Amino acid sequence: MRYQNPVIPGFYPDPSVCRVGEDYYLVNSSFEFFPGVPLYHSRDLINWEQIGHVLTRKSQLPLEGAPNSGGIFAPTIRYHQGRFYMVTTNVTGGGHFFVWTDDIYGEWSDPVWVKQMGIDPSLFWDDDGKVYFQSTFFDEKTQRQCIGQSEISLETGELLTETRSIWFGTGGKCPEGPHLYKIKGMYYLMIAEGGTEYGHMETIARSHSLWGPFESCPHNPILTQRDYTPTIQDYRDRTPDVIQGVGHADLIDDPEGNWWLVFHGFRPSQSMLHHIGRETMVAPVTWDSEGWPVVNEDKPITPWMELPGDNKKELPQNIFSFSEDFTEEKILPVRWAYLRNPVKENYAFSSGLILTAGKASLEDPGAPTFLGVRQRQFRCEAEAVVEFSPGSELQEAGITVFHTAEHHYDLIVTRRSGKRIALLRRRVCDLLVESAPVELPENGRLALQIRSDRLHYEFFAGPEGGDLVSIGKGRTQPLSTELTAGTFTGCFLGMFAQGEGAKSNFLSFRCEYK
């Protein structure tokens, strides 16, 4: 049976997974976006449905002043004695913490803080009920980054032992993303190395003691695409996707005793560039005669993968196209995200979704009036219908392809020389380019549209139900992660209002993937 990677496409990095009976639950990093830590459910590890977010309150997730790719790093989800735990790091708002819930569809607790240095935390319960905390750690003796571990109190987060270095990895840079497992009496410590770029990889070690010493797997790395060299033709449009940068993984078994690896990777748009973000993928795992895991029979990760067995049918997967009618809906579906903690009074449902501009714009490190969804595939068509009559040239509303505050393309409705117009504004680092304004009808609803492929975004505007005209085009290249200042996020498609006092009424939003 065949399935397609990524199983959760778009900006869904650093996956972690747990199983309760036949149900799997998965979380991802969310960085400066709110709510935090997307939460997914599956019954087969291939088809996933987002059921909410873990961090839904400002008391759990303060993001004020969070820079690009600040906020929430690398969560881990675990289930123990009827309770779910999620542990993560808010790198700009307090450090390590965990939250818990007894109802996966309900609210999670306020944070329990853990005072250990580093990022990428994980939790492990030993057979005696003691709980151990792993994260990245700086070893003072060797002056090297490694994985550190301490025993903690689950009630208070207090460290019950000092943090000890337990493994330095295999020599790759940035040993991180640790997860500890006990399998057949042995402790297995799996980590990411190489940096979350083209040298990314997953390595594993084991020990008879959870404090080590840990023996490195003789065929490390157990997962990487670093030696895979695609050709230029591989990146041509309409060809199968190339997968690169795989790593940051979590192991899980299924009810039949099979093992799986969830991990992230990315699909370059061209050459060495990617802009959609790091995406969640799955591969089967077997165990060799020496008790070491073998991922995907030690073959490369490809877009189409074979499940074990002789059935060659394709396993159905999620369809990610959607359409929202804001004149009927009064609650935003879980796919939508804000930039940092939203100013709630700037978002209201009436005869549609009313977005009121606040003090911050898309280029500010504050809380702009913005709602976006992660772009899931290269080829798509996104369209919003809006009622907006700008009161001045300073008032703006529209739709955007947003990567960071310094890298975004905005299709803007505003006013020039007293007329309602549309223009395309492209912000790339310290460069700002605006297209020639295109006059729009003074009254009536407008349709604003983005059409994308692997290499381009093109923007259209016009009266709802009428002919749309092209306002401008931009390459995907300047919105790529490799051209930003060390970001870990991907592109959003969204709606915004800016210029204090601007009030826009968005009636609908649809996104169709090709």
Are 12-229 and 322-513 the same fold in CATH? no
In which band, very low, low, confident or very high, does the pLDDT at 232 lie, cut at 50, 70 and 90?
low
Give 356-367 pLDDT, tens digit per residue.
999 999 999 899
Give the mean pLDDT of the chain.
95
Q: What is the pLDDT of residue 445?
A: 98
User: In which residue are the tokens 């109190």 written?
Assistant: 153
pLDDT band at 238 (very low <50, low <70, confident <90, very high): very low
pLDDT in tens, 50-82: 999 999 999 999 999 999 999 999 999 999 999
Backbone phi, then psi, for 235, in 5-degree steps?
A: -95, 0
d(CA 80, CA 84): 7
Of 228-237, 360-369, 438-447, least confident by mean pLDDT is 228-237
According to the model, what pLDDT value does residue 237 have?
Answer: 46
Catalytic annotation present for 14: yes
Cα torsion 29, 31, 33, 37 to 10°: value is 30
> Which SS3 state, helix, strand or coil, does residue 171 take?
coil
Q: What is the pLDDT of residue 485?
A: 82
> Do residues 445 and 433 lie in contact, with contact meaning Cβ atoms separated by under 8 Å?
no
Task: Specify whether the CB–CB gap between 248 and 196 falls below 8 A.
Answer: yes
What pLDDT sits at residue 316? 72
CA 349 to chain centre: 27
pLDDT > 90: percent of the chain: 91
Q: Are 378 and 95 in contact (CB under 8 A)?
A: no
Q: What is the pLDDT of residue 312?
A: 62
Active site annotation includes 176: yes
What is the third-level CATH fold of 12-229? Tachylectin-2; Chain A (2.115.10)
Rounded distance between C-alpha atoms, residue 273 and residue 490, angstroms: 12
- Give the start-to-end residue ranges of the domains of the chain: 12-229, 322-513
Give the pLDDT mean for 474-487: 93
Average pLDDT over residues 460-465: 97
Task: Report the pLDDT averaged over residues 476-486.
Answer: 92
* Given the residues 14, 120, 324, 396, the one annotated as active site: 14
Token code pair at residue 95:
């450090």
**pTM recorded for the entire structure:** 0.96
Position 433 scores a pLDDT of 97
* Topology given in CATH for the domain delimited by 322-513: Jelly Rolls (2.60.120)
Of 32, 120, 151, 176, catalytic: 176
